[in-house]
Amino acid sequence: MKKIIFVLFILCSCVAGLSAQTLVMPKDLKISKIADHLSKKGYKIIEKDETYLKLVDNQNSSMFIDISDDRKSLLLNINILLNKGTSKASIDKLVEKINDLAMIKATYNQEKDAIFFQYSFWISNGFTYETLEDAVVEFFLYQGDSYALDEDKIIYFQE
């Protein structure tokens, strides 16, 4: 009986070890590993180098993940184009509504005539790929919520 319990204990320990999340420290961060993890989760990696990657979800929404210069955070971000001739008042109104959402920060990028969405995913004390994946999902959800706030229909959608 003791052998059976011992074997079950070892088996459970092995299973728990295989499913455990691994803490990634900033010094060990590699965009290629993030890209590998997210591609296994169904995201399509469009571009990548040592400091950033661009990915697309299953609804063809895109985003960038950049490593901050100080390596304390990953910056999830995207520029959303606006319709030509949109008034500054309409832009400011939409940016204010978006900034009332909890997760993302929106600013107007006049050079690109776009609203810049950004979220800082802090990694200074380590992170897991699973928590990063959760942040990516949430970023896409808040991006969608932002589109719903666009009552004046100033966000440009390609058909």
- Higher per-residue confidence, 10 vs 27: 27
What the chain holds in terms of domains, given with CATH numbers, is: 22-148 (3.30.1460.10)
Share of the chain above pLDDT 70, in %: 87
Using the predicted structure, report yes or no on whether residue 9 has a pLDDT greater than 60: no
pLDDT digits (tens, 9 = 90+) for 120-141: 999 999 999 999 999 999 999 9
Tokens of residue 66, six digits: 């950049």
Higher pLDDT pick, 109 / 5? 109
Task: Give the pTM.
Answer: 0.84
Q: In sequence order, what are the beta bridge partners of 116?
A: 79, 107
Per-residue DSSP letter, 23: P
Q: What pLDDT, on a 0 to 100 scale, did the predictor assign at position 47?
A: 97
Q: Say which residues have a Cβ less than 8 Å from residue 150's Cβ, sequence separation at least 6.
A: 94
pLDDT at 83 over 50: yes
- What pLDDT was estimated at residue 13? 53
Query: For 42-54, what is each residue's pLDDT tens digit?
Result: 999 999 999 999 9
Give the separation between CA 129 and CA 111, rounded to whole angstroms.
34
pLDDT > 90: percent of the chain: 83
DSSP one-letter string for 63-92: EEEEE-TTSSEEEEEEEEEB-TT--HHHHH
In what side-by-side order are the strands of the sheet with 73-81?
Answer: 44-48, 52-56, 62-67, 73-81, 114-122, 105-109
How far does CA 93 lie from the centroid of its chain?
25
Query: The tokens of 19 are what?
Result: 């499913």
Tell me which of 4 and 128 has the higher pLDDT. 128
Residues 98 and 156: their CA atoms lie apart, in Å, by: 16
pLDDT recorded at residue 43: 98
The pLDDT score that the predictor gives to residue 78 is 96
* Contact between 37 and 133 (Cβ < 8 Å): yes
Q: Quick one: pLDDT at residue 16?
A: 45
